[in-house]
Structures are given as C-alpha cells and as structure tokens.
Amino acid sequence: MYRSFRRALAASSAACALVYGLGATPTLAQPPIKIGFHAGLTGPAAADGKAAEAAAQLAVDQINRAGGVLARKLELIVYDDQFKPEVVVPLANRMIGDDKVRAVISAGFSAPTRAAAPVFQKAEVPYIAAISFAPEVTRAGDYVFRVTSVGEVQGRAGAKLVGDVLKKKRVVVITIKTDFGKTLVAGFKDAAPKFGIQILKEYEYSPGDRQFGPLVASIKADAPDAIYATGFYFTGGPLVSQLRAAGVAADIVGPESYSSQKFIEIAGAAAEGTLITNVIDWGSQSPEVTQFLADFEKKAGFKAEAVSAQTHAAISVLAAAIRRAASDEPKQIRAALEKTDLMTAIGRLSFNDLHEVRKVFPVSIVRNGAWTKFTTIDDMVLLAPPTK
Amino acid sequence: MNLLVELGVQGLINGAIYALIATGLAMVFGLLRILHIAHAGLFALGGYLGLVITNASGSFALGLAGAMLLVGVCGMAMYRLCYEPILDKPPYVALIASVGLFIAMEELFRLVFGAYGRSYRRVPLQGALEFAGMRIKYAELGVAVLTVGLLVGLALFTSRTRVGIAWRATVTDSRMAASFGVSIAGVRYLNFFIGSALAAAAGVMVGVLNNLVEPGMGGVPSYKALAIIVLGGLGNLNGTLVAALLLGLVEAYGSIYLSKVLDRDSIAFAALIAVLLVRPQGLFGLRS
C-alpha cells in the first residue's frame, strides 16, 4: 500500500514535470536565437548609437515578453563599432565565427556599415542596415537589406513638400558636406523642376560648423520663399536659430535627421514651424507606432527620433522574417526578408529587388515645442528607391 | 554692399572667438615650447561648466566667471600633472601626451555629460541689436566686448604690473629672469591659469551662440588654433590676435565666395601653407 502510494506519487510528479517542461517554459528550454548588433556606442556617433541600442533592446524585450520567435527567445549581441570601418570588420568576423549569430542589425553610420556589408554577404548572414545611407551598402549582395530610404529618395520627398505641398518656388538649398547631405540635395534638385522649384542659390557647410553667420547673411540677401537645409540636429538646431535671429522668415524644410527632440531644445522658439520629411508619423493611430513611441520614451527617458524608430523597425522586420521562415537558418531568413510586408514603428514597409525599402514619408512640423504631424508624402512613383 | 559689411562683422566675431582660444595656446607655446592640443579640451570644459553653473544658478555672469576660474585651475593642474614631469623630454613627448589627454577629455565629457550635448535652459543674451539693416545678436556683441575686455586686460597686465613684467621676462629668457628672483614655477602656473581661463571664456560664449555644448566641440578649434598660432609667429601674442581676426574674416568671405573651390575649414590650412612658403617664421614672427 505504502509502496504503491510512493509509486503513484513518483509517477504523478514525473507527469507534472513533463507537462511543465513541455507547456509552461518552452522558451527557456531552447537556446535563444542570436542577433548581432553594431552601432557607434562611443566616439562621435555615440548619441545616435546609444539611442539605437536602447531601441533595439526595447524591440527584443517586447518580442521576448510576447513569447519570443518560434518559441525561442531573441538574444541581442551588442558591439561598439566606434564609427570606424577598421573596427567593425573584426567585430563582424567575431559575430559570424564566435557568436554564430543568425542575422545582424547595423545601427552604425555609413562608414562602418559599408565596410561590414561585404563580410556578412560573404558569410551569407542576413544584414539589415537601419540608418546607413551609403548607396554601396545594398550593392554588397543579396543578403543585405536597408530599412531607411536612401538620400535621393528623401530629397525628392523634400522637393514635393516644398514645391507641391507648401507651394514655395524660390528656394535656397544648403548642403552638409557628408554622403547623406549630398545625396539628399541631389534628390531634391532632381525632383525640383517637376514641382516648379527655382533654386536661387546653393550653400555648403562642414559637419563641424555650428556658426553660420556668413551663410545666414547671404541667405538673407537672397530673400528666398523656402530653405531646404540638410544636416543633423546638432547643425540644424544652431542654423535654424541663427536664421530666425537674423530675421529670415522663409519656410525651413529639413530631413529626418532633425527629428530628435534635441533639435527643438537647441533652436528653442526659433524651431517653431520647421518642417521635416520624417520616418515617425506623430499623428499615427497604428499601435505599432504609438506603442513604440510610448515605450521608447519610458525606457530611454527622451522622445524617440528617426534613428531609434528605424532600429526598432529593423528588429521587427527580422523577427517577422524568422517567424515566416519557421527557421533560424540564415538562408531561409534571407528568403523570408525579401517577402517582407510589415507594419512597423516607421510605417508599412517592403523591399524592392535591390533590398531597398519602399515606404512613405510622414512630414512633421514643430508646434508648441514638439514634433507633430503635418502631412504625408505618399507618391510611391516619386519615392521609388533605386533598383538593381 | 550690405552683405559685404555683414560678412565682415560675422568674420570679426568668429575671429574674436579664435583669438580667445589661440591666445592661451600661444602663451603656452611661448613659455614652454609645447604644442598644447588639450587646450581645446579646456575650451570644451569651459563650455560645459558655464552651462552647468548657469542652468543651476540662473546667473550667466556667475556661469562665465565660475567657468573661467575653474578651468583656469584645471589648466594649472594639467601643467602640474601632465607637462611638468616631462618638460626635460623632447617636445614631441609633450605633444603626444597632450593629444592623448585631449582624446581622453572628449570621451570623459561624453561619459559625464552625455553623448547628446547640452543646451541652456534659458539661453542668456537673447535678442538682437538692429542698425543699418543689420541684426547683431546680443550674444555676438557679448563675444566682441568680452574679447576686447579680456585681451586689453591681458595687455595691461603684462605691460603695467610687476607680475606681468616678470612673466614677459621669463618668456624672453627664463634663466635670466630666474637669476633676478622671478619664480619660474609661479610664472608657469599663472600662464596656464590665464590661458585656460581665456579658452573657457571662448567655450562659454560658443556654447551660448550655438545653444549647444557637445563633447566634440573642441575638435575644430584644436587644429584651427594651431594654424593661427603658427600664422601669428609661434608664441607672438600680437601676431596671434591679428592672425585670428584675419582668419575669421577670410573664412567669412571664403565660405560664401570660395565654397565651391575651398572648404571653410581648409581655408586656414591653405593660408598656413601659403604663409609658410613665403614667410616660414609666420606673419609676425621674427626670423631667429
């Protein structure tokens, strides 16, 4: 009697263990799916790099909390590329050889991403560039994808905003001397005639410039209706504030790289009315966007900007592809990535044959010290990314 | 015509900032023959301290004075801890130490103050003065007034006070000065204090003009100030002042009329190469 009771107890506890083992904690039982991640976490790219890291971690946490992917958790393997191409190549080899990552997200700028793309291509590991604009990145091969629009496409969106939406025709163009700035302006000038825009004058400045006195004095003399000013929040903030302080009242249109709240902090009241072609739709009702904006602010302690939204979207795209592939095999993830059609923190996106992203541009405007929705540029013919 | 005048005004304001930064560098070079790259790190530190003190206390005057004082002390500490132990080594040793220190300072700012850069809660010296169709911001006027005030003060100090005369004597011939009872160590500390305080003043004003103080803000001044002191005839303070103002002017006109040919930041170096080819001792240096 006693013995049979013991046997029954043993059998039932084994059954319990079996049930729990299979049902309640499956995600713990299997090893996580490793995702590589690199960004400039120290050095000059650190501000964007840290924001991107927070966004990537947020995306992974959200996915894991909801049960992971293929009943497995995602694990983010984070590396600091220091914004240096010579640093990122050994890191890429380490991710491939030692960490055995199944796919990699780059929130690095163009220089490191351009250097790393061929390494991942050769190793046949899917590589998604979240914020790099260099055209060569996707040309590295069919394992490379990009969730941000290249500069030319965004420049064309800027031209439509200025010439068609705002109906401003006499325009001054300011180029920041980086790949990003030059491609933005190339796209703007390319589309300008279509919208009847007359470019009065073009100016250039270096990324290190913060004092634009001479430029501002000359623009004042040009008396344009609108200014297409490329740059980053740390150059655009001082530029906009100096233009307004000098009494220039023309509309100012910029790129997504002004989307940080820091831009408004720097330019203060002068920021009011500045328009940008953004990746964040501040008026969106879609839960993918609103949830991201709320959760990111809670996690990071500051409002989301383009870099963090794009990095979050890159992880979402990757997780969805692994789910669709029903496998963590890089080859099958790659194939599934090609068929992406997903609502993300930066809106609905898919890839073309060069693996460049197809998406619309929400336009944001500064009102009462915050970015708010203005309109959307959704002319998909105008916004067609470069193809193979 | 109006544009030409306005560009001139902008050029002089930028030149004034260059002058404040480069004077300290020229003072250190004149006395110790060290290329003090980390001076640009002190410039950035000035920007941060001015902003932090102003944001905390609400008083910009306190921010400016506090930044100058604290950065002056940091400059003296830098001399004591970094340069004094290696003064007997060849000059490139100090140069390498200085570059290392500068890089370390930039990363330290990033760790302590954050990678994003900081802005004033209430930007001081807002508003602008209008005359003859021009608008000059109060902050820009502030730069001009501060530069003139500080540099005139420095000139009076070195020519009218006993300490200043001792300082000049040490620059000219330190051994002779020492034999007359001048404390060489004291002069060196004073030198670093004044030079660093001037850089801090420039840092605070740049922070106000841009409403942005960022870890990398010393980057451009670090090499431009170097070009200026070479142009001015290494260690020559009057030459440095003229070279700084000239560079400001050339950059202002150049960034509008030459930008297709020459980058604004390369103007300084094009001028440097041109001058060194013709006058290797600098514009105002004496042939030794």
Q: Does B266 touch chain A (CB under 8 A)?
A: no
pLDDT given at position B285: 67
CA A158 to chain centre: 18
Evaluate whether residue B28 is within a structural domain. Answer: yes
With CB atoms and an 8 Å threshold, state whether B128 touches A245: yes
What are B93-111's pLDDT values in tens digits? Answer: 999 999 999 999 999 999 9
Q: The domain containing residue A114 runs over which residues?
A: 31-148+284-355
CA distance A70 to chain B (A): 37
End-to-end CA distance of chain A: 78
CA distance B6 to chain A (A): 6
Evaluate whether residue A185 is within a structural domain. Answer: yes
How many angstroms separate the Cα of A87 from the Cα of each of A40, A265, B200?
A: 10, 33, 34
Task: Check whether residue A248 and residue A369 sit in a common domain.
Answer: yes
Which of helix, strand or coil describes residue A31? coil
Q: The domain containing residue B70 runs over which residues?
A: 21-217
Q: Are A246 and B135 in contact (CB under 8 A)?
A: yes
| Interface list for B 53-82 with A (CB within 8 A) | none
Task: Check whether residue A63 and residue A109 sit in a common domain.
Answer: yes
Q: What does DSSP assign to residue B287?
A: P
pLDDT given at position A183: 94
Evaluate whether residue A168 is within a structural domain. Answer: yes
Task: Check whether residue A243 and residue A296 sit in a common domain.
Answer: no
Task: Check whether residue A39 and residue A128 sit in a common domain.
Answer: yes
Task: Check whether residue A236 and residue A367 sit in a common domain.
Answer: yes
Task: Check whether residue A59 and residue A196 sit in a common domain.
Answer: no
**Nearest CB to B211: which of A206, A246, A266?**
A266
With CB atoms and an 8 Å threshold, state whether B212 touches A177: no
With CB atoms and an 8 Å threshold, state whether B14 touches A241: no
With CB atoms and an 8 Å threshold, state whether B110 touches A267: no
**Nearest CB to B135: which of A44, A221, A245?**
A245
Task: Check whether residue A138 and residue A157 sit in a common domain.
Answer: no
Q: Are B267 and A211 in contact (CB under 8 A)?
A: no
- Closest to A104 (Cα-Cα) out of A87, A134, A124, A84: A124
Evaluate whether residue A262 is within a structural domain. Answer: yes
Regions of chain B short of the pLDDT cut 50: 288
With CB atoms and an 8 Å threshold, state whether B14 touches A213: yes
Q: Which residues from B are below 8 Å from A267, CB to CB?
A: 211
Sign of the Cα torsion A193, A198, A204, A205 reads negative
Evaluate whether residue B151 is within a structural domain. Answer: yes
Give the best residue of A50, A178, A266, A303 to mutate against chain B (max B CB count within 10 A). A266
With CB atoms and an 8 Å threshold, state whether B210 touches A210: yes
Evaluate whether residue A324 is within a structural domain. Answer: yes
Regions of chain A short of the pLDDT cut 50: 1-2, 5, 9, 13-27
Evaluate whether residue B247 is within a structural domain. Answer: no
Q: Which residues from B are below 8 Å from A241, CB to CB?
A: 211
Q: Which residues from B are below 8 Å from A247, CB to CB?
A: 135
- Tokens 């980053």 -> residue: A232
pLDDT given at position A7: 55
Residue B135 phi, psi (nearest 5) = -120, 115
Q: Which residues from B are below 8 Å from A214, CB to CB?
A: 7, 10-11, 251-253, 255-256
Evaluate whether residue A25 is within a structural domain. Answer: no
What is the residue-wise DSSP string for A311-326? HHHHHHHHHHHHHHHT
With CB atoms and an 8 Å threshold, state whether B210 touches A46: no
Q: Are B20 and B199 in contact (CB under 8 A)?
A: yes
Q: Given strand A347-351, what is the order of strands in its sheet?
A: A341-344, A347-351, A357-358
pLDDT given at position A28: 54
Task: Check whether residue A267 and residue A310 sit in a common domain.
Answer: no
Evaluate whether residue A11 is within a structural domain. Answer: no
With CB atoms and an 8 Å threshold, state whether B220 touches A208: yes
Q: Tell me the CATH number at A217.
A: 3.40.50.2300
Q: Are A218 and A208 in contact (CB under 8 A)?
A: no
Task: Check whether residue A129 and residue A265 sit in a common domain.
Answer: no
With CB atoms and an 8 Å threshold, state whether B110 touches A210: no
Evaluate whether residue B81 is within a structural domain. Answer: yes
Structure tokens at A377: 């540029």
Phi-psi domain of A275 (left: phi exceeds 0; alpha: psi -120 through 50; beta: other): beta
Evaluate whether residue A383 is within a structural domain. Answer: no
* ipTM here: 0.89
Q: What does DSSP assign to residue A177?
A: S
Task: Check whether residue A264 and residue A288 sit in a common domain.
Answer: no
Evaluate whether residue B264 is within a structural domain. Answer: no
Task: Check whether residue A161 and residue A102 sit in a common domain.
Answer: no
**How many domains does chain B divide into?**
1
Distance CA A67, CA A191 (A): 46
Evaluate whether residue A99 is within a structural domain. Answer: yes
Q: Which residues pair with B128 in a beta bridge?
A: B137
Distance CA A115, CA A106 (A): 11
**Nearest CB to A50: which of B14, B115, B253?**
B115
Long-range Cβ pairs for the range A116-120 (8 Å, 24+):
A116/A38, A116/A81, A116/A88, A116/A89, A116/A91, A116/A92, A117/A141, A117/A144, A119/A89, A119/A92, A119/A93, A120/A92, A120/A96, A120/A144
**How many domains does chain A divide into?**
2
Task: Check whether residue A158 and residue A266 sit in a common domain.
Answer: yes
pLDDT given at position B275: 82
Evaluate whether residue B160 is within a structural domain. Answer: yes
Q: Are B264 and B251 in contact (CB under 8 A)?
A: yes
User: Which residue numbers of A have CB closer than 8 Å to B's CBs?
Assistant: 42-44, 46-47, 49-50, 177, 203-206, 208-211, 213-215, 217-218, 220-221, 234, 237-238, 241, 245-247, 260, 262, 265-268
Which of helix, strand or coil describes residue A79? strand
The number of helix segments (H) and strand segments (E) in chain A equals: 14, 15
pLDDT given at position A145: 98
What are B150-206's pLDDT values in tens digits? Answer: 999 999 999 999 999 999 899 888 889 999 889 999 999 999 999 999 999 999 999
Q: Please tell me whether the overall predicted TM-score, pTM, comes out greater than 0.80 for this model.
A: yes
